[in-house]
Amino acid sequence: MSDIRKEIERRRTFAIISHPDAGKTTLTEKLLLYGGAIQLAGSVKGKATARHAVSDWMELEKQRGISITSSVMQFEYEGYCINILDTPGHQDFSEDTYRTLMAADSAVMVIDAAKGIEPQTRKLFKICAMRHIPIFTFINKLDREARSPYELMEELENEFGIGTYPMNWPIGCGQEFKGVYDRERREILAFSEFHRGQNRIRAIECRLDETEKLDELIGPRLRQSLADDIELLDGAGFDFDIEEVRKGRLSPVFFGSALNNFGVEPFLESFLRMTMPPLPRISKDDIVDPFDEHFSAFVFKIQANMNKAHRDRIAFMRICSGRFERDKEYYHVQGGKPLRLAQPQQLMAQERAIIDEAYAGDIIGVFDPGIFSIGDTICEKGQELCFEGIPTFAPEHFASVERVDTMKRKQFEKGILQIAQEGAIQIFHEPQTGVEEVIVGVVGVLQFEVLEYRLKTEYGVDIRRRSLPYELVRWVDNEDVRIPELNLTSDTRWVQDFKGNNLLLFTAPWCIDWALKKNEGLRLREFNRD
């Protein structure tokens, strides 16, 4: 077996998704703890230590205790090279999560045992289902009062139309939480709320018919309940089928408590055993094999000013095939030019390390002088690859933005353009008016706050913001249409994005119907495919 093949086969690249406060960032930190990537897990709640979550690097994230932007972390664990993509849970940042999922081969969905499936979890899961991404479910916070595990699994099955297979089963919950029963190994992991360290929990081998031993461990009532539950699951539940898991049709379910570091390592070991190495990718009409020796990658995220010491922009690339080598000349398909990526970086949130090579499945950061856009393909010259584009979500909230200090025009223009190129916001202007007003569109209103914060702290610009009444935007698909001559409602507005594409802003759905009915042949689309 070649060295390249060996390296690619040990890669595992997955995203962690959840609703806010389900414990996603806490779980991420515990996984990093087992990989030795961090020495101390800093609880986001700040109880165990004053440190903030290692994956939350933006100052605003630390102030609010939520993930605002996705981050990438790579570490080694028992022969595997693991790339974790930690995503924002808040729905206002769902576009960033969507792009990040495009770079993952599987997803871990974290669910709060008391709340079950929440709106954002539902939205993200549908994206995974659309791409047939294998889903692994970690039901968290069993050390608190929780809903029935049967109810939680039934909700998963009904909501998402997939099967579930509990890999372990909880014994009680809240103050009565005694641990979990591992169905595969037929042993009990006993829970202690004081277990937060890195040491492995010692499993207690125990058959369900060993009544005295079980009574001593968990008490007669919970012992009987466990025996009944396992008998029911074995008889009436879904059968385990690894192929169904890998096709995204069966979700292995794990119960635990990330904050108390309970059930995390067994989850990690089972997950690594069940997940696949990097998956093939589609380029035009071809399938790109990750084990192909020729390098290829696509840009799924751009982020400026991650580190105050480096006032630069980083393009995040998912390597799809072959081996990347530092200083080797590659080809930027959309730019039509050769380029040399001289300072490729391995990432641990905002921490960086220069690397000489990377393989299919890895996520690397490269310096972006302003030439990359989200969705761009980089490959070896002559390959003629072009990976599927990443659609841009239609904004749902709009505001006009102007700088307070008229002398700071350059800083304002640079800042707002760079943040727009990252995909966090979309910016528009009215053509043929001569008005300098910038219209900003966002998927979630919290993005306005992030924009205001970043312009002030990263570019030294204060802004004034005025809400606009528009709720819908459509890209104009016709290249030859003369927009000023269209028959539109008086409150419909014609704008262009920074790439020169024509768009129409609407205040209500009936305005879109009017535009289509009154202008024969007009074609409008909801997503931008650039």
Q: Are 506 and 512 in contact (CB under 8 A)?
A: yes
Asked if residue 211 belongs to a domain, the reply is yes
Q: Are residues 304 and 349 in the same domain?
A: yes
Q: Are residues 222 and 320 in the same domain?
A: no
pLDDT score of 255: 94
Q: Are residues 262 and 285 in the same domain?
A: no
Q: Are residues 244 and 118 in the same domain?
A: yes
- Looking at 351, 379, 407, the residue that finishes a domain is 379
Phi, psi of 262 (to 5 degrees): -105, 125
Asked if residue 438 belongs to a domain, the reply is yes
Q: Are residues 251 and 167 in the same domain?
A: yes
pLDDT score of 420: 82
- Residue indicated by tokens 């020169």: 500
Q: Which domain holds residue 25?
A: 16-68+107-274
H/E stretch holding 511: helix 509-518
Q: Are 14 and 104 in contact (CB under 8 A)?
A: yes
Number of domains in the chain: 3
- pLDDT in 10s for each residue of the chain, 530 residues: 578 999 999 999 998 888 777 777 888 888 888 766 555 444 333 333 334 444 443 454 444 443 434 467 888 888 999 998 876 644 444 566 777 788 899 999 999 999 888 776 676 777 777 778 899 999 999 888 889 999 999 998 888 888 999 999 998 888 888 888 888 888 888 776 554 444 555 667 667 777 888 787 788 888 888 888 888 888 877 889 999 999 888 999 999 988 888 888 889 999 999 998 998 888 877 888 999 989 999 998 887 765 555 567 788 899 999 999 988 999 999 888 999 887 888 766 456 678 889 999 999 988 888 788 888 899 998 887 888 767 667 788 899 998 888 899 899 988 888 888 777 788 888 887 666 679 998 877 877 888 888 888 888 999 999 999 998 899 998 888 888 889 999 999 999 887 888 999 999 999 999 999 999 999 998 866 55
pTM: 0.78
Q: Are residues 21 and 165 in the same domain?
A: yes
pLDDT score of 271: 93
Q: Are residues 262 and 346 in the same domain?
A: no
Q: Are residues 249 and 199 in the same domain?
A: yes
User: Which residues are CB-neighbours of 524 under 8 A, at least 6 positions away?
Assistant: 474, 475, 476, 477, 504, 512, 515, 516
